[in-house]
Amino acid sequence: MRKGYLGVDIGSISTKAVVIDEAGEVAASIYLWTEGNPLAAVKRVLAAIEQQLLATDIDVVAVGTTGSARELIGAVLGASVVKNEITAHAMGTLSLHPDVRTIFEIGGQDSKIIVLRDGVPVDYAMNTLCAAGTGSFLSSQARRLGIPVEEFGDYALRSTRPTKIAGRCTVFAESDLVHKAQIGHSKEDIIAGLCNAIVGNYLNNVGKGKEIEPPIVFQGGVSKNVGVVEAFCRATGHNVLVDEFGHLMGALGIALLARDSGVEDRFDFGVRELTFETLGDECGGCANNCEVVYVLREGEFVDAWGNRCGTGVERVKRAAGARG
């Protein structure tokens, strides 16, 4: 059997997973919606990954987690590595594009930019406050226009006169889109205008003040929209690279970090059959009054976070024991 390393990137909108071998080659992958329940999403991910691995000789020996629910899922899966999205995306991108200098990432509900020099992240920015320009924003506009979001890019490329859309705010953009449709702008021009507005919003907010230099790699779910890719090329004046793993880059990066951690123990996919419960509790041990989140597996304490000292963990352990 060959050794495999599982990377899970779990966000508020989508959950991604990748299994790589010792050489870093992808042996299995999955992308699905989180649907507001990261625990259920991860169980579905594990089922899909295990099924894919049946056709291989790979045995998973380490797990890494990243994304907004990385602490929770890391505790559930017994991850050897738990890292933030910046680190994971940078690692994954460098493995495929060693000379990358700028990473654009637009996901379902947030976006980020990472600036690298000589293979080292030197600057970054994230936007988590406004949905304008994210995947969820595009999906909502697709529904409004009655067009599958997967076809948005093709519509944009057919445009000859992109409509100007006020894209700095979701509310304004939606209002402007409706107005432009009512006065007769074509769907192709409106969609091209939306793609331009997304790129303008990204560069003027997330990318503001950053040194954007090529090679530029664009990733995240929105990178699959060729209309947005083309708009980025025009706005930056540079070719923007998108590869087949662009939507899985965080999962790939954390899988690579799990491989390099040196911590190995055979992973049991049967963990998805267990019952997990997450609870929150205010410590109350001092003026900080930390809100501690903890995980129970089959009623037994697994891990906790959110505490500034050991007191909070001890308190939730006692609370977990009292529940049992």
Size (the chain), residues: 324
- 12 and 48 housed in the same domain: yes
Find residue 241's DSSP bridge partners: 217
- 238 and 256 housed in the same domain: no
pLDDT in tens, 161-197: 888 876 566 656 667 777 777 787 888 888 888 888 8
Q: What is the largest CA-CA distance in the chain?
A: 67
CATH of the domain at 178: 3.30.420.40
Going by C-alpha positions, the residue among 83, 106, 103 that lies closest to residue 93 is: 103
First CA to last CA distance, the chain: 40
- 202 and 230 housed in the same domain: yes
Q: Is 240 helix (H, G, I), strand (E, B) or coil?
A: strand
pTM of the model: 0.86
Asked if 231 and 267 count as a contact pair (C-beta separation under 8 A), the reply is no
Residue whose token pair is 């999955």: 30
Low-confidence ranges of the chain (pLDDT < 50): none
Residue 282 within a domain: yes
Cα→Cα distances 135→11, 107, 314, Å: 12, 6, 40
* The pLDDT value given to residue 131: 58
Q: Name the strand (E) or helix (H) holding 88.
A: helix 85-96
- 286 and 226 housed in the same domain: no
- 266 and 292 housed in the same domain: no
pLDDT in tens, 97-130: 999 999 999 877 778 999 999 999 999 998 855 6
* The pLDDT value given to residue 129: 58
Residue 153 within a domain: yes
86: number of Cβ within 10 Å: 20
* The pLDDT value given to residue 147: 81
d(CA 39, CA 34): 9
Q: Which domain holds residue 67?
A: 2-90+251-273
Domain count, the chain: 3
* The pLDDT value given to residue 10: 93
Find residue 15's DSSP bridge partners: 10, 32
CATH of the domain at 317: 2.20.25
